[in-house]
Amino acid sequence: MTLGPLALLSVVGIPLALGAALLRLQGIVPRTDRLAYLGWAWIQGALGVGLGLSAWLWVGAPLRAAWLAPAFLVVAGLTLALARRRVPVLEPRAEGRAFPRWERILFALAVAAMLAALADRILLASGWAVAASDEALIYASKAKVIFHAGDFGAEFRRGLALPGFVQHPDYPPLNPLLQVWVHAHAGEVVHVENRLPIQLFGPALVLVAAAALRRRARPGVAALFLVCIATLNFTEMSMRKAYADLLVAVGALVVWDLWQRHREDGERAWLRLLATSACLLVWSKNEGLLHVVAFGLAAGLPLLLRRRPEGRAALRTLAAWGVPLLASILYLAWFNAHFGVGNDLVASWTSLEAPPELETRGQGLTLERASQRVAPILASFARQVLRDPERSQGLLFLFLLLVLLDPPRAFARARAAFTVGLLIVQLGYLAVYLGTGWEIERHLATSLHRLVFHLLPAQGLWVCLYVAATLPRLASGRVDAPFLRSR
Amino acid sequence: MELRAKPRADAARVLLAWLVLGVVAWRAAAGASEAWGELASRPARQHVRAFTTRPEVLVARQLGADVGILLALRAHAAGARELRLSFVPRPDALRALKRRTAMLSGYLYPTALLAWPHDPRARAAGGTPAPGREGFVLDLDSGRDYSRWPGCEVLAEGPDWKLLRLRPGSG
């Protein structure tokens, strides 16, 4: 280990403190949801550190933890002071039904075991330096370029332009920025601990998923779904490699869980948290933008069309707290344009300057090309649904099965937006493959399992909602029946 | 009719929900067992390797024999902005070369690895040395004839590589 205990404490503790302050600004305190709180705090804090570091790099201030850590602590303190004076706290809901002690202990054990398993995987992964695969070529390389440049100036531009060093330089920068946060603590580039802030989204996923599942289902049932989500092939893989796909999966789960929470109890604080947490999607991977668009179409558009005052009020909250999200989308697009980097998929449709390894360049998105791809895309997708159960733990299969077999429940008012949103993302992903400039089999083989993973935790929650709605004895009793059962 | 159809639909839903829960329980059991099996099968020292092994050793393990290149570069070319990579662009070896150099360049940054392919046939056909070449060169068994650079100096070498310095004006 290069970092000492104090530095490690700062790497983890300062984002958590910043996240806690940002949560308080949105009316969320630990007692609002004791289980999800640390997960939400990590998401908010990591985003806060990413944004803060971006601003820091534009200013060109020294990239040293001795400067950065106090600055973030001051921001957290000021935010907390402001929030405590002005923002009311969202109190927790009344407890649901009472369940046997053994069942509650079983759930607690499941949460603890999943957290321990992920923590152990982090330790195992830390026995290997970052060296190859996407974690090195896409994310760690960009982090090195940022850290050595020290700002977003000419040196950063030179590093991005080095042939073959940073792959996909257009990818959103949260993952590399969080690695820079670690480098800044070490005062040099490190090759092991830099994974840590990304890996911590694994425990965050477990906590957020546990809270979301337990809110709707009785402890024993919630434990089963939680184990499925925590042992997904890619959840475990994300502890070994610092990919950004885990961040998208966590973001999608949080967004849809919070949306359902708002539908269930009408609390506006969930919408505030939803709008700010959605930034995680766009700061993590380009696919995150598709999730945001899908949410806008499935949940936002109906609110816009609805005439009822509560719908209007919800829309106003989303619009007001969605400003950081909109600003993020615009900033990230500008950032890429400023440094002359772009998405190679888009380049393959529009330009002859796309990377030479692309199969087709500048040929546009033709119907003929797309039609030749339908069969391999569907075949690969079917393999993801039906084969390799450890990849999806059956959650994708169950989601699609329930949508097909029971559309009245799947598209009932209480859950329609959730269902439609997940389907839009799924279709959007498949549509991307129709127009890809990469050789289709290779593109599918290297990416489809990642894209499927982005939705799996949210699909797990969706399936759990269905089970709790249909079998009331298995529900938690915390959520009003109509919002589970659907009308 | 409608009254009879509704209970039937509800009964089908209940059955479906139990089946779904059965699949989830099966997958949860399988997931937990796989996770436990994988974690328990590893020797204890692997779980604490991060605390017991220095980071340089972890990097060396990733690089294998190529760690010699990294050490040579740190000893002789620390701070160099660029390092020319001399290699023969054989299509069958390109993938392995790419992987090898990608790993190296990750540890070498901010020293940038710049490709300097050497095609022996072109050379035999009477090609002349590129003018003004200077700085550090990592030669991966390319067979390039450095006698054309009189001031060229071999700084270090390993089984299939050489670290050289081309002096200004020697090209």
Q: Residue B124's pLDDT is what? A: 46
Residue of A163, A231, A405 lying closest to B31 (CB–CB): A231
- Residues of chain B contacting A225 with CB distance shorter than 8 Å: 24, 28
Residue % of chain A over a pLDDT of 90:
72
Q: Check CB contact of A222 with chain B, cutoff 8 Å.
A: no
Structure confidence at residue A37 as a pLDDT band (50, 70, 90) = very high
Residue A397 DSSP code: H
Give the other-Cβ count within 10 Å of A321's Cβ. 19
- Whether the per-residue pLDDT at B21 is higher than 90: the answer is yes
Distance CA A211, CA A222 (A): 9
User: Cβ of A474 and B31 within 8 Å?
Assistant: no
DSSP one-letter string for A466-479:
HHHHH-GGGB-SSS
Residue of A124, A236, A390 lying closest to B46 (CB–CB): A124
> How large is the average pLDDT for residues A284-299?
96
Mean pLDDT of chain A: 90
Q: Residue A97's pLDDT is what? A: 78
User: Cβ of B24 and A144 within 8 Å?
Assistant: no
Judged by average pLDDT, the poorest of A202-216, A415-429, A461-475, B89-103 is B89-103
Per 3-state DSSP, chain A is made up of helix, strand and coil in percentages (nearest 5) of: 75, 0, 25
Of the candidates A172, A163, A133, the one whose C-alpha atom is nearest the C-alpha of residue A46 is: A172
pLDDT digits (tens, 9 = 90+) for A305-318: 777 777 788 888 88
- HEC secondary structure over A269-297: HHHHHHHHHCHHHHHHCCHHHHHHHHHHH
- Residues of chain A contacting B81 with CB distance shorter than 8 Å: none
- Whether the per-residue pLDDT at A210 is higher than 70: the answer is yes
User: Cβ of B16 and A406 within 8 Å?
Assistant: yes
User: Cβ of A192 and B61 within 8 Å?
Assistant: no
Q: Check CB contact of B108 with chain A, cutoff 8 Å.
A: no
What's the one-letter identity of residue A141? S
Structure confidence at residue A221 as a pLDDT band (50, 70, 90) = very high
User: Cβ of B109 and A148 within 8 Å?
Assistant: yes
Structure confidence at residue A353 as a pLDDT band (50, 70, 90) = very low
pLDDT digits (tens, 9 = 90+) for A224-273: 999 999 999 999 999 999 999 999 999 999 999 999 999 998 899 999 99
CA B44, B45, B48, B50 torsion: positive or negative? negative
The residue in chain B having the minimum alpha-carbon distance to the alpha carbon of residue A167 is B102
Q: Residue A487's pLDDT is what? A: 44
If phi over 0 gives left and psi between -120 and 50 gives alpha, with beta otherwise, what is residue A436? Answer: beta
Q: Check CB contact of B15 with chain A, cutoff 8 Å.
A: no
Q: Check CB contact of A180 with chain B, cutoff 8 Å.
A: no
Residue of B35, B103, B113 lying closest to A117 (CB–CB): B35
Q: Are A49 and A185 in contact (CB under 8 A)?
A: no
**Where is B166: in which H helix or E strand?**
strand B162-166
Residue of A117, A389, A402 lying closest to B27 (CB–CB): A389
Q: Residue B169's pLDDT is what? A: 57
The residue in chain A having the minimum alpha-carbon distance to the alpha carbon of residue B57 is A129
pLDDT digits (tens, 9 = 90+) for A355-414: 555 555 445 556 677 777 888 888 888 888 877 777 788 999 999 999 999 999 999 988
Lookup: tokens for A442: 């290779």
ipTM of the complex: 0.89
Residue of A129, A145, A393 lying closest to B55 (CB–CB): A129
Rounded to two decimals, the pTM is 0.92
